[in-house]
């Protein structure tokens, strides 16, 4: 393990990494820092052969001490699948469009990555009770990894959360509370009660280590593409941990000599009914306010305010990327199209990425020769209510 300390994404204040901690004193997220020069001595592309086929293969840049066995459920190393039929429909060059299918993770979504690392670190640092607000998939991931580590899990979900998400939390033994409101209302309950209840808050980017699990998507893309990065990454954005995490991975990879200064153009995909990042990006703002009356069939995109808004907006601009909004009808149609064209079980958020790709290709922002990766962040099987609400047209 080469973990050295924590630093604030916003003000650069530093903290020791030996204690449970949520946010910087300034209220912004904390970043996990490593001795990357030391890590690079054993972590290089050629040293990865033969390592475990899960995200812990990047152990030198993950925070859990090397002498502790990770409580893995097999998370990470998800397939990067070619989508040539979709590419042909959109006029893209053959062999240039891929889908990173996160649905095959434990608990059926990309949330397994972040929770695998965050729960492992919480247990290592002495937490006994974990709490999280969740619009869906994060709750299930926390429930199962908490069960794996023998910790209590307290999960607060909007009452209209997909039934599959609620059931997986209950099956794993978590304490589930349904809330009349949005994920932000659930977050307020956790914040108000955590001290009295002895909970450690596992909210998106309100603890340091979920980003570390999510960043492994960036390392995997490098391996998937045989030592190259995509030209464009389309990522469905709610809390934005994956966007922040992948960018952090690219910075680490450059510091260890894997890549140069090249970066993919990052695209934040949001629902038109809940688009705080896209709205702020279009306005040239450096922070995003709360998106009022947030609504969308994609539960993972129904996040009206993200604590790392400033970091996501910086990444979009620094990468030469953009932000795109899509409506629910289009994203549900494209979730079906993506599934039928590739054989994956696409979720609405994955469909949203295809809709965004369609828009960006039509406008010329994406070129036919670009190497493109879009993310399917979870299994469509978890969204029965959404697909019923938007039947095939």
The CATH number that domain 80-109+210-389 falls under is 3.40.50.1100
Q: Quote the CA–CA distance of 32 and 209 in Å, as a whole number.
A: 7
Residue 136: pLDDT over 90: no
**Hunting for tokens 């570390």 — which residue is that?**
212
For 76, left (φ over 0), alpha (ψ -120 to 50), or beta?
left
Q: What is the pLDDT of residue 135?
A: 87
Residue 393: pLDDT over 80: no
pLDDT digits (tens, 9 = 90+) for 270-317: 999 999 999 999 999 999 999 999 999 999 999 999 999 999 999 999
Report CA torsion sign: 279, 96, 82, 260: negative
pLDDT band per the 50, 70, 90 thresholds, residue 121: very high
pLDDT band per the 50, 70, 90 thresholds, residue 230: very high
Query: From the CB of residue 74, how many other CB atoms can be counted at a distance below 10 Å?
Result: 14
Which residues pair with residue 81 across a beta bridge? 99
Q: Quote the CA–CA distance of 139 and 222 in Å, as a whole number.
A: 29
Q: Quote the CA–CA distance of 233 and 222 in Å, as a whole number.
A: 12
pLDDT digits (tens, 9 = 90+) for 34-61: 999 999 999 999 999 999 999 999 999 9
The 10 Å CB-count burial string (b at 16+, else e) for 62-73 is: bbbeeeeebbbb
Alpha helices in the chain (DSSP H): 36-39, 84-90, 111-124, 137-149, 163-171, 183-197, 210-214, 216-224, 241-255, 276-283, 309-318, 328-342, 348-363, 384-389
Q: What is the pLDDT of residue 17?
A: 94
Query: From the CB of residue 184, how many other CB atoms can be counted at a distance below 10 Å?
Result: 17
Q: Quote the CA–CA distance of 212 and 117 in Å, as a whole number.
A: 7
Q: Quote the CA–CA distance of 176 and 155 in Å, as a whole number.
A: 5
Structure token digits, residue 10: 């916003």
pLDDT band per the 50, 70, 90 thresholds, residue 181: very high
State mean pLDDT over 177-199: 96
Structure token digits, residue 118: 């965050």
pLDDT digits (tens, 9 = 90+) for 152-171: 999 999 999 999 999 999 99
For residue 387, give the nearest of 343, 351, 344, 356 by alpha carbon: 351
Q: What is the pLDDT of residue 333?
A: 98
Please state the domain extents for the chain: 80-109+210-389
Enumerate residues 6+ apart whose C-beta is below 8 A from 299: 135, 136, 137, 161, 162, 165, 348, 383, 386
User: CA 137 from chain center: how many Å?
Assistant: 11
Q: Kindly report the average pLDDT of the chain as a whole number.
A: 97
For residue 149, give the nearest of 183, 182, 172, 179 by alpha carbon: 172
Residue 377: pLDDT over 80: yes
For 130, left (φ over 0), alpha (ψ -120 to 50), or beta?
beta
pLDDT band per the 50, 70, 90 thresholds, residue 1: confident
- Reported for 196-200, long-range contacts at CB under 8 A and 24+ positions apart, including other chains, are 197/129, 197/131, 197/154, 198/128, 198/129, 199/129, 199/130, 199/131, 199/154, 200/20, 200/22, 200/122, 200/127, 200/129, 200/130, 200/131
pTM score of the predicted model: 0.96
Q: How many CA atoms lie within 13 A of 114 on its CB side?
A: 31
**Hunting for tokens 């978890």 — which residue is that?**
382
Q: What is the pLDDT of residue 373?
A: 98
Contact (CB, 8 A) for 167 and 239: no
Q: Quote the CA–CA distance of 281 and 286 in Å, as a whole number.
A: 8
């Amino acid at each position: 393990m080469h973990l050295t300390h924590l630093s604030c994404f916003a003000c650069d204040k530093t903290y020791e990494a030996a204690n449970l901690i949520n946010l910087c004193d300034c209220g912004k997220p904390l970043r996990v820092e490593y001795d990357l020069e030391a890590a690079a001595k054993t972590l290089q592309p050629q040293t990865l052969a033969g390592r475990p086929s899960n995200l812990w293969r990047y152990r030198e840049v993950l925070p859990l001490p090397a002498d502790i066995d990770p409580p893995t459920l097999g998370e990470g190393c998800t397939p990067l699948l070619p989508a040539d039929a979709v590419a042909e429909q959109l006029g893209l060059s053959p062999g240039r469009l891929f889908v990173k299918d996160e649905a095959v993770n434990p608990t059926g979504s990309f949330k397994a990555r972040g929770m695998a690392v965050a729960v492992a670190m919480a247990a290592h640092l002495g937490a006994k009770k974990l709490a999280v607000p969740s619009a869906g998939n994060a709750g299930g991931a926390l429930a199962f990894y908490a069960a794996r580590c023998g910790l209590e899990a307290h999960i607060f979900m909007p009452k209209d959360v997909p039934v599959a998400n609620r059931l997986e939390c209950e099956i794993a033994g978590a304490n589930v509370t349904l809330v009349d409101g949005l994920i932000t209302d659930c977050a307020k309950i956790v914040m108000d009660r955590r001290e009295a209840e002895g909970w450690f808050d596992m909210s998106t980017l309100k603890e340091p280590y979920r980003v570390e699990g999510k960043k492994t998507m960036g390392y995997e893309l490098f391996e998937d593409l045989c030592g190259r990065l995509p030209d464009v990454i389309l990522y469905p954005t709610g809390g934005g941990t994956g966007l922040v995490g992948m960018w952090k991975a690219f910075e680490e990879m450059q510091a260890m000599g894997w890549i140069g200064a090249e970066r993919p153009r990052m695209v934040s995909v949001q629902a038109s009914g809940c688009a705080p990042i896209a709205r702020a990006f279009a306005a040239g703002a450096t922070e995003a306010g709360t998106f009022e009356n947030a609504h969308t069939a994609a539960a993972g995109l129904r996040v009206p305010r993200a604590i790392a808004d400033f970091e996501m907006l910086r990444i979009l601009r620094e990468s030469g990327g953009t932000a795109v909004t899509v409506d629910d009808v289009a994203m549900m149609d494209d979730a079906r199209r993506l599934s039928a064209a590739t054989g994956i079980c696409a979720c609405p958020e994955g469909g949203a990425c295809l809709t965004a790709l369609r828009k960006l290709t039509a406008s010329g922002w994406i070129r036919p020769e670009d190497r493109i990766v879009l993310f399917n962040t979870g299994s469509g099987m978890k969204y029965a209510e959404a697909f019923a609400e938007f039947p095939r047209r």
